[in-house]
Amino acid sequence: MWIKAVDNKNNKNIYKGALVFSKEFKLGKNVKKLRLEVSALGILTVSFNDYDIPDYFMPGWTNYKKVVNLCEYDLTDYAKENNIIRITVARGWYSGRLGYIAKDRVYGDDTAVYAEIEATYKNGEKEVITSDETWRCDETNVVFADFFDGERVDFNKRKFKNYAVEKKDGEIPFRKYSYEPVREIERIIPEIISESEVSAVYDFGKNFSGVINFKAKGKAGEVITVKYGEALDLSGGVYTENLRSAKATDRIKLGKGLCEFAPKFTFHGFRFCEVIKTPKCEIIDLYGVVLSQNLAQTGMIEADNQLVNALFKNISNGQASNFISIPTDCPQRDERLGWSGDAQIFCDTAMYNSDCRKFYENYIDLLTDDCFSDGRVPVFVPFFAKPRIEATAAAGWSDAVTVIPLKHYCFYGDKSIIKKCLPFAEKWCEYFHSAEKGRFNKRKIFNYGDWLSAGEVTDFSVVNYCYLGMSLKNLSRMFIIVGNEEKAEFYEREYLKIKDKFLKKCVSGETILSDTQSAYALAFSAGFMTAEEIKDGLSDSVLRADCHLTSGFLGLRYLLPALCEAGRSDLAYKILLQTTYPSWGYEIANGATTIWERWNGIEENGSFFNPSMNSFNHYSLGSVGFWLYAYMLGIRVDEDGITIKPCFGSGINNAKGRFVFRGVKIEVEWKNLGDGYEYSVKTDKTLDLKFDFHNKIVKKQQKNANEYTFALE
Ligand code: BGC
């Protein structure tokens, strides 16, 4: 049963720290299996006898009003005759501060725990220990914990209040936790970049999500404060303005002897931290713990160009930093939400980089949990805001419900995901289509547009038509996958109607309304115009910007692919390798170790952009990762598997990489030989590969069933 602390005084503060629920129990000899099922309204850690489960922030974030994850662990190896289990719970997403609204207690006040320990003996008998009123509940020395505001630990605390335990009323349906947990994925020893008797600024060399661990020695009662930030301000201190209301501060009150700080109930997005202490207090062994979803790496890219290598690293760091239970927009400020627009635009990059099968399966569950019966799809999930139009129906955001499942199918081949999503995807398309009839009326559809574009603004109706078209096309493809030809054809016809309308309303000659890079890229990718038709408009718009990009979140994902398809890979490579504003190279030249939220996060005059919305760790503009894998390396994934189809361009003479597709490792490499290209591909198991070298093959050599080299014009 769900249990909670009995709080006679109705004192909400008891839940601001961490409470430990514990139970001592005996087990007989010959335990064959010991299984723990555990969940929390809050976030939990489990220690069983001497073993600490290494997962962070379980049971993960769900819409706790509707569903909560149930985690399962095998504890057989740690079973003894006399056992003790301790489950420590803090607020986390359940009652800590959430989102840009930054309010706490969104789902409830009081944290709670559910546990069932099942012992199976060799003779087949079973014994079950469940959480109930006989469990203990005590305060811990974690006196405050919050994702945004940090963790406060009092090592000098002497009195730990004991609370009686009672049943927590109300049933919340369980869902089995079935994806990789958040874990420590790396440790970083930082460099001290400035120091005095009472403070030190540490540089971890890259922006990441996580915590720091250290030991400290000093006088009992003395306080150490740690502040976190992504950058340094002009005076060399940690820059915190862009964290908005997130305090991102840990506080440690020392006790007697050596105190070990290893927070488990918060995380920060940071590259720098400042430790403020008293002169005599000694800090020992301070290191950074990088936290992320523990996903297997499936992709790698390397080129003879340092900018490309740095960009690939930044994309991967941005992904790792923002994969904390769900795909989030940013890890540092008071937001950290599962924005669906960001998630859909980046999902194929992520699926190349890592095995995201289960991770997105979970996100898809969260998305469908919160879809509205009239078809609207929230712009972030788990959803907890007022269901106004701007939060529940937006082109490019709500379309996640057609994009992510289809991509998931292409990468992982699981039809059940398509089946699960189809009713929601169909409803969304119907809703979106009906909004078109009202001329994309603001009361039916909200326009974020080509969010955070650089300089050029793409007309909202262009974005809306293109996304409506893409979603109808995706829906038709989803119906083909499940074998429903009739519906597939129906939505193909609906798609053609929208294409017609787009051409009538937004195109004159070959010029698209607003004449921006994103407009051409989106119209081509929606299949509204051919490569030939967009070629001039798109190239002109790039040339006008002096071969720089102007796109925001939505257009960018399609920009370089559209240029390559239109036969202008030369321009795609120029944009890729730019080092002046706006470009990825500009970010790198300004010290970026992740992807920035906006192209002008640091302005050309060196100042920070307005801190009200300026994160240095947003993965969305890293969606170029898709192009790097699919076009630069040439490994393309669709419903029919893998096609090898590279696009070359100047500035890079050698590129190589790998991608593990459904358990098969594909390695590719190409070289510019001056008078042509050499392209080689190798797989570690037999895989049906299709090749498309734009009719430029001079010679093909096949070493064996899994290894090819092509000489190309
Ligand atoms: C978030 C984005 C998100 C956007 C929606 C921002 O605050 O950080 O990544 O997609 O809002 O407009």
Structure confidence by residue, pLDDT tens digits, 662-705: 999 999 999 999 999 999 999 999 999 999 998 898 899 989 98
pLDDT digits (tens, 9 = 90+) for 118-129: 999 999 999 999
Distance 613 CA to ligand 1 centre (A): 9
Q: Say if residue 9's pLDDT is above 90.
A: no
Share of the chain above pLDDT 90, in %: 95
Please choose, from the candidates 451, 449, 454, 452, the residue with its C-alpha nearest in 3D space to the C-alpha of residue 582: 454
- 368 vs 171, 174, 293, 377, 401, CA distance in Å? 21, 16, 21, 8, 8
Q: Say if residue 13's pLDDT is above 80.
A: no
Distance 611 CA to ligand 1 centre (A): 14
Amino acid at 694: H
User: For residue 282, what are its two tokens?
Assistant: 């000694």
Q: What single-letter DSSP state applies at residue 242?
A: G
Distance 338 CA to ligand 1 centre (A): 10
Distance 539 CA to ligand 1 centre (A): 29
User: Which of 98, 332, 336, 337 has most ligand 1 atoms within 8 Å of its beta carbon, as the pocket-test mutant?
Assistant: 337
Q: How far apart are CA 32 and CA 34, in angstroms?
A: 7
* Ligand 1 atom showing the smallest separation from residue 341 Cα: 10
Greatest distance between any 2 Cα atoms in the chain: 82
What pLDDT, on the 0 to 100 scale, is given for residue 614? 98
Distance 292 CA to ligand 1 centre (A): 21
pLDDT digits (tens, 9 = 90+) for 468-478: 999 999 999 99
Distance 43 CA to ligand 1 centre (A): 25
pLDDT digits (tens, 9 = 90+) for 290-311: 999 999 999 999 999 999 999 9
* Ligand 1 atom showing the smallest separation from residue 618 Cα: 9
Binned at pLDDT 50, 70 and 90, residue 14 comes out as confident
What pLDDT, on the 0 to 100 scale, is given for residue 231? 98
pLDDT digits (tens, 9 = 90+) for 477-512: 999 999 999 999 999 999 999 999 999 999 999 999
450 lines ligand 1 (CB under 6 A): no
Q: How far apart are CA 24 and CA 135, in angstroms?
A: 8
339 lines ligand 1 (CB under 6 A): yes
Residue with tokens 């190349």: 352
678 and 670 in contact (C-beta within 8 Å)?
A: yes
451 lines ligand 1 (CB under 6 A): yes
Binned at pLDDT 50, 70 and 90, residue 542 comes out as very high
Q: How far apart are CA 69 and CA 73, in angstroms?
A: 13
345 lines ligand 1 (CB under 6 A): no
What pLDDT, on the 0 to 100 scale, is given for residue 109? 87
Q: How far apart are CA 385 and CA 99, in angstroms?
A: 9
Q: How buried is residue 197: exposed, middle or buried, by Cβ count under 10 Å (0-12/13-18/19+)? A: exposed
User: For residue 100, what are its two tokens?
Assistant: 């840009």
Q: How far apart are CA 376 and CA 445, in angstroms?
A: 9
Q: What is the mean pLDDT of residues 605-612?
A: 96
Q: Say if residue 241's pLDDT is above 80.
A: yes
* Ligand 1 atom showing the smallest separation from residue 397 Cα: 10
What pLDDT, on the 0 to 100 scale, is given for residue 447? 95
Please choose, from the candidates 210, 217, 206, the residue with its C-alpha nearest in 3D space to the C-alpha of residue 150: 210
* Contact residues for 117 (Cβ-Cβ < 8 A; gap 6+): 25, 34, 35, 36, 37, 75, 85, 128, 129, 130
Q: Is 472 helix (H, G, I), strand (E, B) or coil?
A: helix
> CA dihedral defined by 260, 266, 272, 275, rounded to 10 degrees?
-40
What pLDDT, on the 0 to 100 scale, is given for residue 439? 85
330 lines ligand 1 (CB under 6 A): yes
463 and 453 in contact (C-beta within 8 Å)?
A: no
What pLDDT, on the 0 to 100 scale, is given for residue 12? 75
329 lines ligand 1 (CB under 6 A): yes
Distance 249 CA to ligand 1 centre (A): 24
Q: What is the mean pLDDT of residues 168-174?
A: 93
448 lines ligand 1 (CB under 6 A): yes
- 711 vs 22, 700, 705, CA distance in Å? 67, 6, 18
Buried b (16+ CB within 10 A) or exposed e, 397-428: bbbbbbbbbbbbbbbbeeeebbebbbebbbbb
Q: Say if residue 10's pLDDT is above 80.
A: no
Nearest alpha carbon, ligand 1 atom 3: 339
Distance 285 CA to ligand 1 centre (A): 37
Low-confidence winner among 13-17, 252-256, 333-337 (lowest mean pLDDT): 13-17
What pLDDT, on the 0 to 100 scale, is given for residue 708? 94
What pLDDT, on the 0 to 100 scale, is given for residue 338? 98
Q: What single-letter DSSP state applies at residue 296?
A: P
What pLDDT, on the 0 to 100 scale, is given for residue 473? 98
Distance 150 CA to ligand 1 centre (A): 23
Question: Rounded to 5 degrees, what are φ and ψ at 559?
Answer: -65, -60
Nearest alpha carbon, ligand 1 atom 9: 329
What pLDDT, on the 0 to 100 scale, is given for residue 7? 84
Q: Is the alpha carbon torsion for 433, 435, 437, 439 positive or negative?
A: negative
Q: What is the mean pLDDT of residues 396-400?
A: 98
